[in-house]
Amino acid sequence: MGEIGLNRLEYLYDLTFCDLLLIERGYEMRHRHLWFAERWGTFYTMMAFCGSENMKKSGLNNPTDLLHLPWDNQHAADGEAGEELTENDVKRLRALMQEENARQQSQKQ
């Protein structure tokens, strides 16, 4: 499936919903830094052309005022502190995925 690197048949028949959700989140995480860089670049380009005083009058004090990205307040909305996943978190998620895959495989048979 293009940039993700999945076989079409694997995508259609072998992946579970949990697998697709994790792939989508990983894909989003892979490209977040590009969105941040573009937002900063646009903000400072506008500041150069418009001037900082005019930007402040318009209510554009920082790049997040210019373009709000979906994950800007994600950790605050989830009640998380925004820390990175630990190794134990990854192990727990893998165990949950294996349980779900086994459950779905048993339902297919």
For residues 6-30, give the mean pLDDT. 72
Q: Is pTM beyond 0.75 here?
A: no
CA 92 to chain centre: 20
Per-residue pLDDT tens digits for 40-75: 898 888 888 888 888 888 888 888 888 888 777 765
pLDDT digits (tens, 9 = 90+) for 72-102: 776 555 555 455 667 887 788 888 888 888 8
Which pLDDT value is given to residue 104?
Answer: 80
In the DSSP assignment, the letter for residue 84 is P
- Residue that has been written with the tokens 């590009």 in this structure: 34
φ, ψ (nearest 5 deg) of residue 89: -65, -45
